[in-house]
Amino acid sequence: MNLEHELRAALRRKSPAPGLAERVLARAHEVPERRPVRRAPWAVAASLLLAVTLAGWGAHRRAEGERAREQVLLAMRIAGSKVAYAQQQVRGISK
């Protein structure tokens, strides 16, 4: 008897508190607050890495360019000197 009474009390239909529907709808439309992601340190590290890599590549490219420039000058002077010598000899003979 007592159990039956307790069950009835527990399963009794209760009316929601006034304004519950409005509160639920209002909550549903709220934009959830985002947790701030700590991206700044990663961005700084990535930028630094990129800057160092680019600087290294630039220095390597400059050194390579300077070496190539010296080779060009050396080669053209050797070629030029041999052609000039041959031309001088030909002009000397034809005079």
Note the residues at the interface with another protein (CB under 8 A): 61, 64-87, 89-90
Question: Which C-beta is closer to another protein: that of 47 or that of 80?
Answer: 80
Locus of tokens 């890495």:
49
Q: How far is the CB of 44 from another protein (least distance, A)?
A: 33
- d(C-alpha 93, C-alpha 95), whole Å: 6
- d(C-alpha 72, C-alpha 43), whole Å: 42
Q: How far is the CB of 36 from another protein (least distance, A)?
A: 47
Q: How far is the CB of 93 from another protein (least distance, A)?
A: 9
Question: Which C-beta is closer to another protein: that of 23 or that of 82?
Answer: 82
- d(C-alpha 52, C-alpha 61), whole Å: 14
